[in-house]
Amino acid sequence: MQQFLKSKGLKEKSINTYISIINKITNKLGKRFTEKQLEDFMATLSLKPSTYNLYRAVMNFYTKKELGYEIKFSKAKQNKFLPTEVTREEFKQFLSTIPNIKHKIGFRLMYESGLRVDEAVNTKKYDLKLDELTLRVRGKGNKDRYTILNKTLAEQLNGFLNESDKNNPYIFQNGGGHITVKTFQERLKKARFDSRMAKEFTCRSLRHSFAINLVNDGIDLDIVRKMMGHSSLRTTQVYLQCRTINLTKIAERVSVL
């Protein structure tokens, strides 16, 4: 099973998730089970909707490959919350509390280029085209894409890279490799606390805010989709609901009394 998943191009983290879920189910139900047995067992696990749907997708892969049937029972209904937006002013306030240039640049890549936190830590020097203000992103599911670099960020990167270890290909270096995702996640929590921001946000929120800013600036939605690395335009359309709209002015215009 591991070899098959690897041949499909899944990363080690995803393969481990698949195998862990399959083992959890088959240890309880055995290697052969009916769809009804699977549905009933999953109902006892008290999973969050998103986790339930992940289990369902993984087991649908298993049943189709090993048992010859496709799962028909429904996905769990998920709550649809709008992404948390970090405004430009809030981001400046947040960034001002961070002394380490390495961390500043990492958060800027998430906020101003739309990188996921794991994409940021895995970015290599040769992915950057500083003179063209572009960046090649080694994206989720082995799907590469190009995104933009802010001019001041490109200048900051140029100075930062001149001081880096020439033998290490990564931008965010740690020894012979790169810093961890957890490093950025923990640094964000500290900076958010230091800046006394009441708003709760994550590294993912910074990426969402990149897309929201593009939409507010009138950039074509399909261009936004490509820079975000979304396969479907439907995924990107959620940012349309986050556009800055003056609701007070609209209310005044439609008032009839």
Beta strands 128-129; 134-138: pairing state: antiparallel
Cα 133 from Cα 248, distance rounded (Å): 38
* Whether residues 95 and 201 fall in one domain: yes
Cα 136 from Cα 253, distance rounded (Å): 45
Q: Which pLDDT tens digit goes with each residue over 185-219?
A: 999 999 999 999 989 999 999 999 999 999 999 99
* Whether residues 16 and 95 fall in one domain: no
Q: Which pLDDT tens digit goes with each residue over 144-188?
A: 999 999 999 999 999 999 999 999 999 999 988 999 999 999 999
Amino acid at position 202, single letter: T
Q: What is the mean pLDDT of residues 134-144?
A: 84
* Whether residues 113 and 192 fall in one domain: yes
User: Can you list the alpha helix ranges (DSSP code H) found in 70-144?
Assistant: 88-95, 101-113, 117-121
Cα 147 from Cα 48, distance rounded (Å): 33
Amino acid at position 11, single letter: K
Q: Which pLDDT tens digit goes with each residue over 92-120?
A: 999 999 999 999 999 999 999 999 999 99
Q: Residue 5's pLDDT band (boundaries 50, 70, 90)?
A: confident
Q: pTM of this prediction?
A: 0.76
CATH classification at residue 134 = 1.10.443.10
Cα 195 from Cα 180, distance rounded (Å): 23
Q: What is the DSSP letter of 246?
A: -
* Whether residues 117 and 203 fall in one domain: yes
Q: Of the ranges 40-44, 74-78, 83-87, 221-225, which one carries the lowest mean pLDDT score? A: 74-78
> What is the number of domains present in the chain?
2
Cα 135 from Cα 227, distance rounded (Å): 10
pLDDT at residue 250 is higher than 70: no
Instruction: Give SS3 for 80.
Output: coil
Cα 15 from Cα 11, distance rounded (Å): 6
Domain that holds residue 219: 88-242
Q: Residue 141's pLDDT band (boundaries 50, 70, 90)?
A: low
Contact between 128 and 157 under an 8 Å Cβ cutoff? The reply is yes
Q: Tokens in use for 81? A: 């919350």
